[in-house]
Amino acid sequence: MSAPGFSLARRLRAGETVYTAWCALPAPLVAEYVAREGFTCVVLDQQHGMYEIASTVAAIGPVRHAGASPVVRVPLNDFASASRVLDVGAEAVIAPMINNVELARRFVGVMKYPPVGERSWGPARAAALAGIADLKDYTRDANDMTLALAMIETREALDNLSAIAGMEGIDGLFVGPFDLSIALSNGAVLDPYSKDVDAALDVILAAAAKHKKIPGIYCANAEAGLAAAKCGFKFIAVGGDVAYLRAGAAAQLKALNIESKSATGKSTLPPI
């Protein structure tokens, strides 16, 4: 893998712990400013966030120019979007609810060129953003320099974990701890720090180590992110743009001796 414009896969495969921002607001300027603060990469969320293909394309360039690696979480079962965001410059794709071998195979199929998958060819924008002049060079290295991250967030995924982790072309396992807590409690509990989730994390980390895959996880805040790193996770999402915005506003209000709405319970948004 020699392409200088793609760094995320190289850093993670070297064993580096990478913290990524998470952006749900479909505002490329927000993603750019978050990147400029120093995050290694920025995830643009098309599943539960409000990013669509136009805003994703508009954000990937500024994120890269700000010095960060652009990553996209695609919508549920939208494998066509996975291939498309690679073509416009994403360095990694997170696919939700990869619950079994067939879904993992479909994900690999759109993420990797032959002989690993069946990705359709059209990476002109990705190559241009990365400073790769010859598209043959991009094509030669693409399977190694882009990452397919399969989300593990259901009982079914845990039951099929070894087969998913062992599949060629799946580069990493990315844990959705909130959904996982719902699944493991049969819908009774939303608690990403529950004992059941902790036990599942140990199993996922072991599977990632056995099959030499990158372990990743979403964390609500920096404290949880540091704890995840100590456990062995390497690709760690921390918070999100809405939380960053609200935290900054709350800090200013506190300095002005004005109580924020989140503190009084009047806010219509979830807590940070």
Q: What are the residue numbers of the active site?
A: 48
CA 237 to each of CA 8, 185, 216: distance values in angstroms, whole numbers, following the listed order: 14, 24, 8
Among 270, 139, 155, 164, smallest CA distance to 215 is for 164
Among 114, 49, 109, 42, smallest CA distance to 79 is for 109
- In the chain, the amino acid numbered 245 is L
Count of Cβ atoms closer than 10 Å to residue 58 Cβ = 18
Could you give the count of Cα atoms lying within 13 Å of 93 in the half-sphere of its Cβ?
Answer: 37
Residues 6+ apart with CB under 8 A from 146: 6, 9, 86, 90, 91, 92, 93, 111
Q: What is the DSSP letter of 43?
A: E
Distance CA 241, CA 30 (A): 8
Among 207, 152, 146, smallest CA distance to 181 is for 152
Question: Could you tell me if 272 and 246 are in contact, meaning their C-beta atoms sit under 8 angstroms apart?
Answer: yes
147: enclosing H helix or E strand: strand 147-152
**115 preceded by cis ω (within 30°)?**
yes
